[in-house]
Amino acid sequence: MKCQVNPRYMERLYSFYSPFYKYVFGMLLGPGRRKAFNYVSRQPNQKVLEIGVGPGSTLEFYPPKTKLVGIDISSAMIQIARKKAVNINSGSRFDFHVMDASRLDFPDNHFDIVMAAYVITTVQDPHKVCREIHRVLKPGGQVIAINHTRSQNGSLWGRIEDVMAPVFVRVGFTTDLDVIRVMKDAGLKIQKTVPCNLLNTGRIITGTKH
């Protein structure tokens, strides 16, 4: 059985983390974020959705003239992201909303890119979130997830990740989720998976929608 994530707990936890998030998780997760942007399409004027945008750790990496909509379940995170966006002079437009990634208030086929940086393992229903990503992405659009993903079935490391999941879920994410599988199940076509972060514990997963 997969470890259960309580959305109310996550919302409170990440709101609590928000003032110092960038100092702790920023350093640990920064290399993966920077590397992931090597794979982001650099066309101007693209409509981008970032789910679980947090304090806006990625804002400076978007190409000039991006139209970015960032959503997060934590209003404390959204306030910090809004403040940060004011100081980014790339000609991009930033728009932030408190919203649950499993119920996106956007039309079908709306975004050129959906970015999901370290969020799929923090949500209660990752299948629903990935179906929502698929729904709002334009055909041919790009999805980029940066995440830990559970190791292959049958591997010792995969069993350790299962055992550790209830501990890590208290810290803010689960370790027993095969993120690549969930993205595929939602209909997303996976193009690349690239290791990242300390000890290659993360993956940059790029994909598209037919």
Residue 52 touches ligand SAM, criterion: CB under 6 A: yes
From 60-68, 114-122, 158-166, 175-183, span contacting ligand SAM (CB under 6 A): 114-122
Q: Which of 193, 184, 164, 190 is nearest to 176 (CA)?
A: 164
Residue 101 touches ligand SAM, criterion: CB under 6 A: yes
Residue 132 touches ligand SAM, criterion: CB under 6 A: no
Tell me the closest approach of the beta carbon of residue 193 to ligand SAM, in angstroms. 18
Tell me the closest approach of the beta carbon of residue 109 to ligand SAM, in angstroms. 21
How large is the angle between the packed helices 75-86 and 7-17, nearest 10 degrees? 40
Listed in sequence order, the DSSP H helices in the chain are 7-17, 21-36, 75-86, 126-136, 156-171, 179-185
Restricting to residues 55-74, name those near ligand SAM by CB under 6 A: 57-58, 71-74
Measured from the CB atom, is 85 or 119 closer to ligand SAM? 119
Burial (0-12, 13-18, 19+ Cβ within 10 Å), 18:
buried
Measured from the CB atom, is 54 or 141 closer to ligand SAM? 54
